[in-house]
Amino acid sequence: MKHFTDKVSAITGAGSGMGRALAIRLAREGCHLALADRNATSLEETARLAEAAAPHIVGAPLLITTAVFDVSDRDAMFAWAAETVRQHRRVNLVFNNAGVALSSTIEGMDYADLEWIVGINFWGVVHGTKAFLPYLKASGEGHIVNTSSVFGLFAQPGMSGYNATKFAVRGFTEALRQELDLMRCGVSATCVHPGGIRTSIAQSSRIAPNMVGFMLENEQQGKDDFEKFFITTADEAARVILDGVRRNRRRVLIGRDARAADWLARTLPAAYQALVVLQTRRMKRMAEKRAQRAAQLADRRA
Ligand SMILES: NC(=O)c1ccc[n+]([C@@H]2O[C@H](COP(=O)([O-])OP(=O)(O)OC[C@H]3O[C@@H](n4cnc5c(N)ncnc54)[C@H](O)[C@@H]3O)[C@@H](O)[C@H]2O)c1
């Protein structure tokens, strides 16, 4: 797809971060939007920002619609896809972007937490793909953009649930792209692997109590440390994603961190794991020293 003007894009997780940035960039290019999120307030704010970003063409304003639902709900996703086509008459792009993060050891992991993240990060992508595919084919020019992660390229302790969903999105989307190529049906697919992007994902993540003492000092420090790795803005990420769609890329890596992790996992597919363990131990020692110094300082003040 060479341009987005007068196309129709459906975006999940549009209330924040990369979903919002995609909506604003697409609106700026004259693309009609069907926006979805589970958070009604932030979704309305995105719709407002996208409307403000849209070019003001007299007589042909952009149509921006919103829907509030949980992407892990299959019926709700299929209903939204049908409603999008009813309201917009067609749909050309779907961005299966909504996602959440979870930190937990495997040994201590609650099944409820694992089911929660699999429901959103994996099943949400599956439902979005299957619900929109017939409409994308009918449009004559369609593209499916599924968001995996740098954690869909390499694994990390404490991230098994997130890793499992993002590796799954990668396998699902790579197979999907091959099937679409074989079908020559006018629909393509891209798998996106962002590195650390400055969004709300860390602050809204679930951190299981079993991580405290294992890899983290406390929940808030875990979230704050996670954010230290966020080096790319959401707007830049959206620019790279849309550029990848224009070039019909099979996969899109965002940020030098994602490119480095991809290189490491492909060059040292087994040894990188030992390197991650060494680095995690080093960071844990540093965190312990930091906590000791803070405790000594507090003692002196008391
Ligand atoms: N930020 C990063 O560093 C990073 C890195 C790699 C991959 N990703 C992936 O990028 C995608 C976008 O995340 P982001 O960083 O913009 O995060 P974000 O938290 O800023 O935005 C995620 C949005 O998804 C929505 N959402 C969450 N669960 C939902 C559900 N069940 N149903 C509907 N909407 C739901 C949230 O309300 C939020 O508006 C996610 O799939 C995430 O896993 C993010």
Give the model confidence (pLDDT) of 60-100 as tens digits: 789 999 999 999 999 999 999 999 999 999 999 999 999 99
Q: Are residues 232 and 102 in the same domain?
A: yes
Residue 291 scores a pLDDT above 90: no
Across the range 145-164, mean pLDDT stands at: 97
Which of 73-87, 260-274, 281-295 is predicted least confidently?
A: 281-295
Mind listing the pLDDT tens digit for each residue in 102-112? 999 999 999 99
Residue 221 scores a pLDDT above 70: yes
Give the residue carrying structure tokens 């597919």: 269
pLDDT greater at residue 220 or residue 199: 199
Q: Are residues 145 and 257 in the same domain?
A: yes
Q: Are residues 130 and 145 in the same domain?
A: yes
Q: Are residues 283 and 147 in the same domain?
A: no
Query: From atom 43 of ligand 1, which residue's Cα is the shortest distance away?
Result: 99
Q: Are residues 260 and 287 in the same domain?
A: no
Residues 6+ apart with CB under 8 A from 109: 160, 161, 208, 210
Q: Are residues 102 and 241 in the same domain?
A: yes
Query: From atom 31 of ligand 1, which residue's Cα is the shortest distance away?
Result: 70
DSSP labels for 109-142?
A: --HHHHHHHIIIIIIHHHHHHHHHHHHHHHHSSE
Residue 57 scores a pLDDT above 80: no
d(CA 55, CA 64): 13
pLDDT number for residue 218: 86
Residue 58 scores a pLDDT above 80: no
d(CA 111, CA 299): 40
Ligand 1: centre distance to CA 172 (Å): 19
CATH number (domain holding residue 197): 3.40.50.720
Above pLDDT 90, what percent of the chain?
85
Pocket of ligand 1 (CB under 6 A): 12-13, 15-19, 37-39, 42, 70-72, 97-100, 120, 147, 149-150, 194, 196-197, 199-201, 204, 230
**Maximum CA pair distance of the chain?**
72
Q: Are residues 182 and 301 in the same domain?
A: no
Q: How confident is the prediction for the chain on average, in pLDDT?
A: 95
d(CA 97, CA 129): 11
Sheet containing 32-37, strands listed edge to edge, beginning at the edge strand earlier in sequence: 64-68, 32-37, 8-12, 93-96, 142-147, 187-194, 251-254
The domain containing residue 244 runs over which residues? Answer: 8-267
pLDDT number for residue 302: 81
Ligand 1 pocket test, pick from 95, 199, 256 with the greatest ligand atom count within 8 Å of Cβ, gives 199
| Residue 216 banded pLDDT, cuts 50, 70, 90 | confident
pLDDT number for residue 25: 98
Q: Are residues 76 and 129 in the same domain?
A: yes
Q: Are residues 152 and 261 in the same domain?
A: yes
| Residue 59 banded pLDDT, cuts 50, 70, 90 | low
Which of 22-26, 171-175, 279-283 is predicted least confidently?
A: 279-283
Number of folded domains that form the chain: 2
Residue 55 scores a pLDDT above 90: no
| Residue 225 banded pLDDT, cuts 50, 70, 90 | confident
In contact, 58 and 46? CB cutoff 8 Å: no
Ligand 1: centre distance to CA 302 (Å): 42
